[in-house]
Amino acid sequence: MNFISKYSTFCNAFYMTVLGLVMPAYAMLYYVTGFKFDPTKGEIAWITIVIGAFLVGLSYLTLTEREGFKFKLLRVLFSLTLMLTTYGCVRVSLTIVQSDSGNVDFIIQAMFYAIPITFVLSAVVIFAGLFPKIVA
């Protein structure tokens, strides 16, 4: 049993959970800070990417027939959204690293570093599992 097949279930679950919780957390932060919901064009683009990645990932992971055009199309779309969300996660991680954390508790800081790192590692494992002939 190789590394990818051993951890693919956890990585798929973690990736989809993070994507599923990003939008409610984003909306909650807007609500808590008291700002009216007026996202910029860049934020709208990332909201669309995250929602699209969640829907494509959900469609791909629940697909029962693993052959044919629909499967190949969903696999390519899933790999593209996987790369886009990983890029977005790296951008967010760089913003977190560059920002001044102030009086934030160590546990919260560790969580803010651990979640993006685990997300990127999960995306790499998922991507490697999508194309096993290329990786092996």
Predicted confidence (pLDDT) per residue in 99-133, tens digit: 776 677 778 778 888 889 999 999 999 998 888 77
Q: Given the structure tokens 């998922």, which residue do they identify?
A: 126
**Burial (Cβ within 10 Å: 0-12, 13-18, ≥19) of residue 106:** exposed
Residue 1: band (very low, low, confident or very high) from pLDDT cuts 50, 70, 90? very low
Return d(Cα 88, Cα 94) in angstroms, integer.
Answer: 10
| 31 — pLDDT class (breaks 50, 70, 90) | confident
Q: List pLDDT tens digits, range 45-85.
A: 998 999 999 999 999 989 888 888 988 899 999 999 999 99
To the nearest 10°, the Cα dihedral for 45, 49, 51, 55?
Answer: 150
Contact 103, 130 (CB under 8 A): no
Nearest Cα residue to 54 out of 75, 25, 28, 23: 23
